[in-house]
Amino acid sequence: MAEGPVPPPISGVLETGLYVDDIEAARAFYEGVLGLRPMIADARFCAYNAGPASVLLLFQRGATLVPVVMAEGTIPPHDGHGPLHYALAIPESSVERWVAHLAAHRVEIESRVDWKGGGISLYFRDPDRHLVELATPGLWPNY
């Protein structure tokens, strides 16, 4: 580990970005199945409120390869490929309701993990094969 000045604190992960092949199909899944509502959207991306101080961003794959110049400043280019993983926090009391809800939408749960710390994780795929995890408290020491 490098020695040197201690960095200022980080207060959390604010944004998680996923790159999708079909933004409309992805939006149908995230809005229709997961119940997320867009805060802002256009043909290039969609931003969802994913909980307190947490935003889930969907980007049309390839649409962010050039800088986005705005009055407020410039967003540098970015992109990604392959199935990614992220987790959304849920209360333990909603696990069985989520199981039933996903089944009603014909979303296959690939795995359920009952963690030693008491947390439960449900794993399934979105239309772009990203691994979505719904996780209850007890999964990590800080959650």
Task: List the chain domain ranges.
Answer: 12-81, 82-143
One-letter amino acid identity for 109?
Answer: I
- β-pairing, 85-89 with 131-135? parallel
Per-residue pLDDT tens digits for 27-65:
999 999 999 999 999 999 999 999 999 999 999 999 999
CATH match for 82-143 among 3.40.50.1100, 3.10.180.10, 3.20.20.70, 3.60.20.40: 3.10.180.10
For domain 12-81, give its CATH number from 3.40.50.300, 3.30.720.120, 3.20.20.70, 3.40.50.720. 3.30.720.120
pLDDT value at residue 70 = 93
- Could you give the 3-state DSSP secondary structure of residue 96? helix
Contacts (Cβ under 8 Å, ≥6 apart) of 7: none
Residues 6+ apart with CB under 8 A from 115: 121, 138, 139
pLDDT, one tens digit per residue, over 78-128 is 999 999 999 999 999 999 999 999 999 999 999 999 999 899 999 999 999
Q: Are 2 and 43 in contact (CB under 8 A)?
A: no
Give, rounded to a whole angstrom, the gap between the first and last alpha carbons of the chain.
Answer: 26
pLDDT of 36 reads: 97
Helix (H, G, I), strand (E, B) or coil at 113: strand
- N residues, the chain: 143
Nearest Cα to Cα of residue 83 among 27, 123, 125: 125
Residues 102, 124 contacting (CB under 8 angstroms): yes
Query: 21: how many CB neighbours lie within 10 A of its CB?
Result: 12
